[in-house]
Amino acid sequence: MGFLDINNATKSYGSVEVLHNVDIQVEEGEFLVLVGPSGCGKSTLLNMIAGLEDITTGQIAIKGNAMNGVHPSNRNIAMVFQSYALYPNMSVGQNITFGLEMHGVPKPEREKAMAEVAKLLQIEPLLDRKPGQLSGGQRQRVAMGRALVRDPDVFLFDEPLSNLDAKLRVDMRTEIKKLHQKLGTTIVYVTHDQIEALTLSTRIAVMNGGYVQQLGTPKEIYDTPANLFVATFMGSPSMNLVSVKIVETDQGIAAQTTNGHGKTILLPFLNASAELKSYAGQTVTLGVRPEALTDPGGADRDAANVVEFDSRVLVTEPAGSDTFVTTTLGGTECNARMRADVQVRPGDDVRFAINMDKAVVFDPKTEKRIS
Amino acid sequence: MAVASSDTAIRTGRITRTFLYLVLLLFALFYLLPFGVMVVNSVKPLSEITGGNMMALPKVWTFEPWREAWATAQIGVEPTGLRPYFWNSIKMVVPAVAISTILGALNGYVLTKWRFKYDTMTFGFMLFACFIPFQIVLIPMARVLGLTGMAGSTPGLVFVHVIFGLGFTTLYFKNYYQVFPTELIRAAQIDGAGFFRIFQRILLPSSGPIIVVSVIWQFTNIWNDFLFGASFADLDSQPMTVALNNLVNSSHGVKQYNVHFAGAILAALPTLLVYIVAGRYFVRGLMAGSVKG
């Protein structure tokens, strides 16, 4: 039993079920990110934890106490909203202490708690201002202050950074991470931004169509996505997916495909699993992250299984830190991430290196990963 | 060339503008004329009115008609002037405006932030109330007032006006609260504020403009109402409008036009005042829902 338990929770509106049997156990101090495209049910799930939406079936428990039917204010949670939801008629100080006031905390204690939070978030000079006089980043801080001051069991964040401009978003992301490390609080965080999910979380739940597609650490999600949806949704640029044929060779199992010239190439697997072997002769989907497809000099030296081949360059996109090179594998356009200073031009025939340690294989019918 | 053309442009602008202002001035005068006539005739002796020109300025200035209309004129059978009826109106208007505005705000709050089954239909019925001709409900309403023992009293009138004002005030507040961010309500819920606390601490402090709209609208309508006042009020609860009618109709012998004019202005003054004091918020409040994102 975890700190926050979501047991078999579903949500229906009328006869339409929008969230199907969600099971997540969150330990104390964990940073769980719910990530997925719009309409995947992540905000609904968050609102169910908050008590803003009721739970159709199943149970949500905090510290072992069932929260079904418990009023939001009695769940000992705090929420940071996408629009910050600061009360426009109150000063920053009043905004922060409103929750304490509603819970009947005496004034001296409220003042003390407010001072502590203001110091922590460095918003002391703003306490007498109205939210309308603050910048986006300042409002964000105040919204977090309002959540922190209650000292709740669980913090809920509903896309808190999506209203900020790009640079500020990165700064605030680091702030949130620092805050989590410092306070060790339990956080459930909703976002549609996969970078935010990967950078902030200790665990990620990738959601789509009302189902949790995969629940795991950022590394698990990134390296061994459970299915094609997770593979393409997480990571930017997204994973290259190539149709390949599994063949048995003298050296073992290999993926057979064609390079940019239509010439057949073999990509052998080391230590292929029994499950993968059973696919011999069949067509599967090979997933390769752009950074696992690079120039030979840029390939991971610690990798055990790097295969080199020639292919034609279609497009180059210098991105400063890297150069993205497009070529074709098995007739599909693939994105390779090469070192920044490689000299390649469109139309060139270049040597590519593919790190097969990092390659994953999916069954094209079930879309599930073949282990 | 450039200088010459810009010069003409300015001149054309000036001519057009002069013309515009002239027309506007004419219209303003036209609209003000009735009021002007009333004021002018309310400060002259009756002999000047009956003796000749209604439009002429008074030769002798006198405030006697105003004093008479206010304190001593014959209203029905009593020579009380309009004064007691003015207070009747105040006693009716203030609670009626306050209650209908507060209830309208609560309705708007519930209809937008605490949605329930059939809420749209409920609101539809309330809107319907805005468009029912008053004559239709006179007899049923008289029956209800009779049954509840409120007939012929100020509370009865307040009740009637609250009922008929509610449709409009609900409409105003519903439209205003529709664009009020729901996340604020949710944040307050998580903070532990209840239904009324959210209303009082979060919603009402942000409702200034729409409260002004509701108050002006209700004040004007209820103060100016004649039909309900004439139908449901007793002698000691009659509002100003009914009394004014009695003043004009109950003259013995000579019609005292100057007193009538003064009385009519007295009856119109409060609505005018409310509009002058709060009028600039009126348009702002009406527009608030439409321009806010």
The CATH number that applies at residue A217 is 3.40.50.300
Cβ contact B190–A102 (<8 Å): no
Structure tokens at B204: 């009402």
Residues A225 and A364 reside in one and the same domain: no
Q: What's the pLDDT score for residue B7? A: 59
The yes-or-no verdict on residue A268 having pLDDT over 70 is yes
CATH of domain B84-291: 1.10.3720.10
Query: What residues are paired with A17 via a beta bridge?
Result: A12
Cβ contact A87–B187 (<8 Å): yes
What is the interface size between A and B, counted as CB pairs within 8 Å?
Answer: 56
Q: What's the pLDDT score for residue B290? A: 45
Angstroms from B231 CA to nearest CA on chain A: 44
Contacts of A98 in chain B (CB under 8 A): 188, 191, 193, 201
* Residue A156, helix vs strand vs coil: strand
Residues A290 and A258 reside in one and the same domain: yes
Residues A37 and A148 reside in one and the same domain: yes
Residues A87 and A182 reside in one and the same domain: yes
Of A233, A256, A283, the position where a domain reaches its end is: A233
Confidence of residue A298 (pLDDT cuts 50, 70, 90): confident
Residue entry with tokens 């003000």: B32
Q: What is the DSSP string of chain B?
A: -HHHHHHHHHHHHHHHHHHHHHHHHHHHHHHHHHHHHHHHHHTS-HHHHHHS-SSSPPSS---HHHHIIIIIS-BTTB---SHHHHHHHHHHHHHHHHHHHHHHHHHHHHHHHS--TTHHHHHHHHHHHHTS-HHHHHHHHHHHHHHHT-TBSHHHHHHHHHHHHHHHHHHHHHHHHHTS-HHHHHHHHHHT--HHHHIIIIIGGG-HHHHHHHHHHHHHHHHH--HHHHHHB-GGG--HHHHHHHHHH---SS--HHHHHHHHHHHHHHHHHHHHHHHHHHHHHHHHHHH--
User: Closest by alpha carbon to B160, among B230, B217, B76?
Assistant: B230
Residue A207: which residues within 8 A CB-CB, separation 6 or more?
A: A34, A35, A36, A40, A41, A42, A45, A213
Q: What's the pLDDT score for residue A121? A: 84
Contact status of B197 with chain A (Cβ, < 8 Å): yes
Question: Across residues A263-280, what is the average pLDDT?
Answer: 87
Q: Which helix (H) or strand (E) holds A31?
A: strand A31-35
Residues A52 and A195 reside in one and the same domain: yes
Nearest CA in chain B to A148: B191
Residues A175 and A255 reside in one and the same domain: no
Q: What is the distance between the alpha carbons of residues A126 and A352, in angstroms, rounded to a whole number?
A: 55
Residues A86 and A215 reside in one and the same domain: yes
DSSP letter (8 states) at residue A269:
P
CATH no. for residue A248? 2.40.50.140
Q: What is the distance between the alpha carbons of residues B108 and B112, in angstroms, rounded to a whole number?
A: 6
Give how far Cα A256 sits from Cα of A41, A53, A269, Å: 39, 50, 11
Residues A70 and A179 reside in one and the same domain: yes
Closest by Cβ to A85, choosing from B181, B192, B206: B181
Task: Write the single-letter amino acid at B1.
Answer: M
Angstroms from B189 CA to nearest CA on chain A: 6
- Please give the tally of structural domains in chain A: 2
Question: Across residues A101-116, what is the average pLDDT?
Answer: 89
The pLDDT tens digits of the residues spanning A202-213 come to 999 999 998 999
Residues A213 and A91 reside in one and the same domain: yes
Question: Across residues A277-297, what is the average pLDDT?
Answer: 90
Contact status of B211 with chain A (Cβ, < 8 Å): no
Q: Which helix (H) or strand (E) holds A254?
A: strand A252-258
Q: Per residue of chain B (293 residues), what is the pLDDT tens digit?
A: 444 555 566 667 788 888 999 999 999 999 999 888 888 888 888 777 777 777 778 788 888 888 888 888 777 777 787 888 888 888 899 999 999 999 999 999 998 888 888 888 888 888 887 888 888 888 888 888 888 888 888 888 899 899 888 989 999 899 888 888 888 888 888 888 888 988 989 888 888 888 888 888 899 999 988 888 888 888 888 888 888 888 888 756 777 888 888 888 888 888 888 888 877 777 666 655 444 33
* CA A332 from centre of chain: 26
Q: Which domain holds residue A18?
A: 4-233
Q: What's the pLDDT score for residue B2? A: 47
Nearest CA in chain A to B207: A89
The pLDDT tens digits of the residues spanning A20-35 come to 989 999 998 999 999 9
Closest by Cβ to A72, choosing from B190, B201, B206: B190
Nearest CA in chain B to A150: B191
The lowest-confidence range among A286-300, A317-331, B71-85 is B71-85
Q: What's the pLDDT score for residue B252? A: 67
Of A233, A260, A275, the position where a domain reaches its end is: A233
The yes-or-no verdict on residue A178 having pLDDT over 80 is yes
Residues A180 and A60 reside in one and the same domain: yes
Query: What residues are paired with A242 via a beta bridge?
Result: A286
User: Closest by alpha carbon to A130, among A87, A100, A85?
Assistant: A87
Give which of A71, A73, A139 to mutate to test B binding, by max B Cβ within 10 Å.
A73
Q: What is the distance between the alpha carbons of residues A200 and A195, in angstroms, rounded to a whole number?
A: 8
User: Closest by alpha carbon to A126, among A168, A152, A92, A163?
Assistant: A92
Structure tokens at B98: 């306050």
Q: What's the pLDDT score for residue B271? A: 87
Contact status of B38 with chain A (Cβ, < 8 Å): no
Of A233, A250, A269, the position where a domain reaches its end is: A233
pTM summary value: 0.78
User: Closest by alpha carbon to A309, among A247, A250, A266?
Assistant: A266
Angstroms from B103 CA to nearest CA on chain A: 22
Contacts of B190 in chain A (CB under 8 A): 50-52, 72-73, 77-79, 99
Residues A227 and A336 reside in one and the same domain: no
Residues A256 and A336 reside in one and the same domain: yes
Residue B38: which residues within 8 A CB-CB, separation 6 or more?
A: B261, B264, B265
Q: Are A316 and A344 in contact (CB under 8 A)?
A: yes
Q: Which helix (H) or strand (E) holds B74?
A: none
Report domain extents, chain B. Answer: 2-71, 84-291
Contact status of B291 with chain A (Cβ, < 8 Å): no
Angstroms from B115 CA to nearest CA on chain A: 13
Confidence of residue A317 (pLDDT cuts 50, 70, 90): very high
